[in-house]
Structure 1
Amino acid sequence: MIDQTDRALIVATQGGLPLVPRPYAAIAEQLGIGADEVMQRLRNMVESGVIRRIGAVPNHYAIGWTANGMTVWDVADEQVDALGAVVGGLDFVTHCYRRPRAMPAWPYNLFAMVHGASRDECAAKAAEIRALLGAACGGSDILYSTRILKKSGLRIGS
């Protein structure tokens, strides 16, 4: 459970941290508590699972990544978890997860997002993943985004 201060902290940060040299101090001032308490409360909420993570959500287009490709892979079921962990650990994969197949039209069960300045760059990254997967890979494709649909998580009201 969260108390009123935790809830206020979630509301204050759910749109992003302030772009100032000391963001936790700015939030602390807004909430009338100390910066150390802000950091400890956030840490506690992450550790307890109330919030999943604190991280940057970049606008890929603004930083020059105009090609955003969701690579999809048909990976042997008995190897997908282990191989997914390896693929997810690549520095150019921003997120990686397993999903159920929808046979016969959709044989893919491993998804890995890659970004680049061009589709050729994304294809080169996909080729690296294919080489890593080796014989465990039965097929793949790349689905390119054409626009940003959502850049935020769940929001709660104040």
Structure 2
Amino acid sequence: MPDAADAADSTDLALIRATQAGLPLVSAPFAAVAAALGLTETEVIARLAAMQARGMLRRIGAVPNHYRLGWRANGMTVWDVNDARVEALGERVGALPFVSHCYLRPRRLPHWPYNLFAMVHARTRADAVPQIERIAALLGDACRAHDVLWSTRILKKTGLRLPPAGAASQEPR
């Protein structure tokens, strides 16, 4: 349970609400947020850094729409990797420059033997094939089987959204 000192104050909550859908697309986004909240740019940056240090924010980063950038062959590669080697190999797969995220998941036998997942992005499926082959080569004989689950549409990419200030709580009673 978070310590009382870790709790967000009303200014932190206002800052989260002001930025949760993204930063303004202007040359000085933190200054624009600051002006909207009656703060200074320095205060906004310091508060965001403090919330991140306390674990309230995981990260601040760009979330590009890869479809609009021309990257339409997006595939979740799934791999059945020897359990004794999967963690070390997963670290190496996740470090590849074309893998956007990589994680371990439990198998669901007998129908789902895969325990390592790695997302790859390319302009075409043909362009993705060498990436998938590189992962297969890295995994070598520790990999028993694999498949690719190709994306057919872009999914909503959002995190937690706080309700507007003053909105009724959505928690069950």
Instruction: Classify the TM-score, shorter chain.
Output: over 0.9
Q: 1:147 aligns with which of 140, 148, 153?
A: 153
Q: Which moved more, 1:39-48 or 1:60-69?
A: 39-48
TM-score by length of 2: 0.88
What RMSD in Å do the two structures reach over aligned CA positions? 1.0
After superposition, the C-alpha distances for 1:80-139 in whole angstroms (9 at most, x for unaligned) are 222111111111111111111101111111111111110111221111111111111111
**Post-superposition shift, 1:149?**
2.3
Alignment partner of 1:59 is 2:65: yes
Partners in 1 of 2:102 and 2:37 — Cα distance?
36
Partners in 2 of 1:98 and 1:64 — Cα distance?
28
Partners in 1 of 2:139 and 2:157 — Cα distance?
30
Query: Counterpart of 2:44?
Result: 38
SS in 1 for 2:36: helix
Structure 1 stretches lacking a partner, 5+ long: none
Q: Which moved more, 1:143-152 or 1:62-71?
A: 143-152
Query: Counterpart of 2:97?
Result: 91
Structure 2 stretches lacking a partner, 5+ long: 1-6, 165-173
Query: Counterpart of 2:169?
Result: none
**Post-superposition shift, 1:3?**
0.7
After superposition, the C-alpha distances for 1:133-157 in whole angstroms (9 at most, x for unaligned) are 1111111111001011212112111
**Post-superposition shift, 1:70?**
0.4
Alignment partner of 1:28 is 2:59: no
Q: Matched residue pairs, number? A: 158
Q: Give aligned-pair identity as a percent.
A: 59
Partners in 2 of 1:114 and 1:84 — Cα distance?
14
Moved over 6 A (4+): none
TM-score by length of 1: 0.96
Query: Counterpart of 2:77?
Result: 71
Q: Which moved more, 1:43-52 or 1:135-144?
A: 43-52
Q: Which moved more, 1:79-88 or 1:113-122?
A: 79-88
Partners in 2 of 1:40 and 1:82 — Cα distance?
36
Partners in 1 of 2:43 and 2:88 — Cα distance?
38
Query: Counterpart of 2:3?
Result: none
